[in-house]
A and B are shown apart, each in its own frame.
Chain A
């Protein structure tokens, strides 16, 4: 399984990661190398094996639905590049 620069462009769009046009071929080569490694997993029969998402297979811990955090909006918003009146600013989404 190998990828082309065009495939990388599509994936980069899905991930919202800007890739320079001239780097597309290098990423395609690197990702193809990674995929080549991953083909090895196909040698294993994994029928009837439950996928493992956590090494200790625990049950998700629940807690009462209560407020535990204090509101620190102003402190958190000092980290953002652009805010106004307690809101985060982004380019216009709707005309």
Chain B
């Protein structure tokens, strides 16, 4: 049952082979069985069973969607009314959100069941889930390896079958990198495709919610529920939402795939490069045409990202002041002490580093040299992507230069950690949609193929990923011990 797709489960629910309560209970049991993964921050057992009862009633009435009664889990960055929403931080350890994020409302409307809230790097800042106040997440494929980040809890839970599917958010690779490390399918939609309302902000011009699932078909179903214009989010895109499942079976004959040579650089593990090229060969067999291209701006993506993301983070996180919500220090001497000590006590080292970096980049005398300069290089990077995508339909590359690294391996040198995001970060700067699709294993750890598409062409990305998943079974592999 835990290896079934959403479509199969939806059919079983409709055929009354199983009830949503039974399905939900079986997932709750699995979550209890595998607590050592640390993928959940909060398990909402009572709420989940209540949702499942409601779904079973709705299933009887016939007014259903494919997600009605399906148990999924939410990254703990999405505000959930009446339920603790921590964002992986001590700052919000006591925070019970007073409203639902739009994404949560949409899943509620679809009738999905929420199993709980998933672990993540603190305020989504991290690439290994090691910055979480609640501790790191284990990679189901290797206990000693990180699950990736920042959506590490989501990736591990889906890979270990502790949820049928999950949400994630991606500011610099936070859906695609953990999806790659845990061998699942991750989709970061176009910036603005999914509402950011109620999604706790890190870097507002880059943040985007998306899907973490076992297959492209499941991803299409989740995206269908999540996507769309939201007047509560001023950066939400007012663009038509197509039927994402409609084109999944489109043949790929004549598809033009671009391979940017800079994405196959010296730091890339040779075995990963070989795995990606084998996947590209599969596409050739499916009738695709391959074109090598050059994107020399790629190397500027990391510095550009860390200026912009840090600057936006320092502004966004100023809302945590110890006054209205979140952690407040004991016995403040004065207002300044209240702010400084509350924030000093409750933010972890990585969040502090980025706030300090951003504050510096935005301070008088440095604003033009760092922030404006980065916004200009951002445009050059985005223009390069637009040009590439005017010549080909999609771009393909690795997601990461290595497979999941060891727990604690990169924590002492933050810059080394940042450099590992080289292949994902540029896509957020450009605002494009991209996926990570399981494409094989190196040293028994999963490898993800990155597929990058044009603005709002998520349907095409899903089609390209789905066709690959029809001729390969990498996405169906289950980590040992979680069968």
Q: Is the CB of A44 within 8 A of B314?
A: no
- Name the A residues within 8 Å of B333 (CB-CB): 91
- Please, how many angstroms separate the alpha-carbon atoms of A42 and B374 in the complex? 10
B339/A16 in contact, CB under 8 A = yes
The chain B residue sitting closest to A49, CB to CB, is B376
Q: Which of A31, A41, A42, A79 contacts B96 (CB 8 A)?
A: A79
Check if B431 sits within 8 Å of A55, measured CB to CB: yes
Query: Closest CB-CB distance, A94 to chain B, in whole Å?
Result: 10
- By size class, the interface of chain B is 35 or more
Contact, CB under 8 Å: B337 / A38: no
Does A79 contact B334, Cβ atoms closer than 8 Å? no
| Minimum C-beta distance from B460 to chain A (A) | 18
Q: Which of A11, A16, A49, A90 contacts B343 (CB 8 A)?
A: A16
A91 and B96 in contact, given A16-B339, A41-B300, A56-B455 (Cβ under 8 angstroms):
no
State which of B49-57, B231-239, B279-287 sits at the interface with chain A. B231-239
List chain B residues, Cβ under 8 A from A54.
Answer: 191, 205, 235, 431
Q: How far is the CA of A47 from the CA of B431 in the complex (A)?
A: 23
How far, in Å, is A36 (CB) from chain B's closest CB? 8
Chain A 17-41: CB-based contact to B (< 8 A → 1; otherwise 0) = 1111001000100110110111111
Query: A-B contact count, CB below 8 Å?
Result: 160
> Contact partner of B302 among A37, A51, A52, CB < 8 A?
A37
Complex CA distance for A95 and B17, rounded to whole angstroms: 71
B237 (CB) vs chain A CBs: closest residue:
A56
A12 touches B335 (CB 8 A): no
Q: Does B474 contact A (CB under 8 A)?
A: no
Task: Decide: B340 and A81 in contact? CB cutoff 8 A.
Answer: no
Measured between beta carbons, the chain A residues less than 8 angstroms from B370 are: 38
Q: How far is the CA of A34 from the CA of B345 in the complex (A)?
A: 24
B340 lies within 8 A of A16 (CB): yes
Closest A residue, CB atoms, query B361: A38
B interface secondary structure, majority: helix
**Segment at the A interface, from B115-123, B217-225, B348-356:** B348-356
Please tell me if A85 contacts chain B, counting CB pairs below 8 Å: no
**A52 / chain B contacts, CB cutoff of 8 Å:** 375-376, 378-379, 382
Across the interface, which residues of B come within 8 angstroms of A31, CB to CB? 353, 356-357, 360
Stretch touching chain A among B6-14, B321-329, B463-471:
B321-329
**Contact A44 B377, beta carbon cutoff 8 Å:** yes
Q: Are A63 and B231 in contact (CB under 8 A)?
A: yes
Kindly list chain B residues whose C-beta atoms are within 8 Å of the C-beta of A20: 344
In Å, the complex CA distance between A41 and B332 comes to 42
Contact across chains for A18 and B379 when beta carbons are under 8 A apart: no
B303 within 8 A of A: yes
| Chain B residues, Cβ within 8 Å of A50 | 376, 379
B144 at the interface (CB under 8 A from A): no
Within the assembled complex, what's the spacing in Å between the Cα atoms of A55 and B334? 41
Tell me whether B431 and A56 are in contact (CB under 8 A).
yes
Q: Name the contact of B335 in the complex, choosing from A44, A49, A82, A93 (C-beta under 8 A).
A: A93
Select one of B324, B334, B378 contacting A88, CB under 8 A. B324
Q: Does A60 sit at the interface, judged by CB under 8 A?
A: yes
Question: Is A17 within 8 A of B324, CB to CB?
Answer: no
Alpha-carbon gap, A20 to B348, bound state (A):
12
Residues of A within 8 A of B380 (CB): 44, 46, 49
B33 within 8 A of A: no
- Nearest opposing residue in chain A for B370, CB measure: A38
Q: Complex: how many Å from CA A23 to CA B344?
A: 12
> Residues 406-438 of chain B: 1 if any A CB is under 8 Å from the residue's CB, otherwise 0?
000000011100100000000001111000000
Contact of A27 among B237, B302, B356, B432 (CB under 8 A): B356
- Interfacial chain A residues near B237, Cβ < 8 Å: 56, 58
Find the residue from A11, A37, A38, A80 having the highest chain B CB count within 10 A. A38
Which residues on A sit within 8 Å (CB–CB) of B415? 30, 33-34, 36-37
Cα A19 to Cα B339 in complex, Å, equals: 12
Interchain CB contact under 8 A, A8 and B338:
no
Q: How far is the CB of B284 from chain A (nearest CB, A)?
A: 31
Q: Is the CB of A18 within 8 A of B340?
A: yes
Contact between A56 and B98, CB atoms less than 8 A apart? no
- B residues near A91, Cβ cutoff 8 Å: 332-335, 337-338
CA distance A39 to B302 in the complex (A): 11
Q: A15 at the A/B interface (Cβ < 8 Å)?
A: yes
Q: Which chain A residues lie closer than 8 Å to B310 at the CB level?
A: 34
Given the complex of chains A and B, what is the CA–CA distance between A79 and B327 in angstroms? Answer: 10
Report A's interface with B, CB cutoff 8 A. 3, 8, 11-20, 23, 27, 30-31, 33-34, 36-44, 46, 49-56, 58, 60-61, 63, 72, 75-76, 78-82, 88, 90-93
Q: In the A-B complex, list the 4 residue pairs whose CB atoms are closest, starting with the nearest.
A: A18-B344, A55-B431, A51-B375, A46-B376
16 extra interchain contacts, Cβ-Cβ under 8 A, other than A33-B413, A91-B334?
A: A14-B363, A17-B352, A27-B353, A34-B310, A37-B302, A38-B306, A40-B303, A41-B307, A44-B377, A51-B375, A51-B379, A55-B431, A56-B237, A56-B431, A79-B324, A81-B328
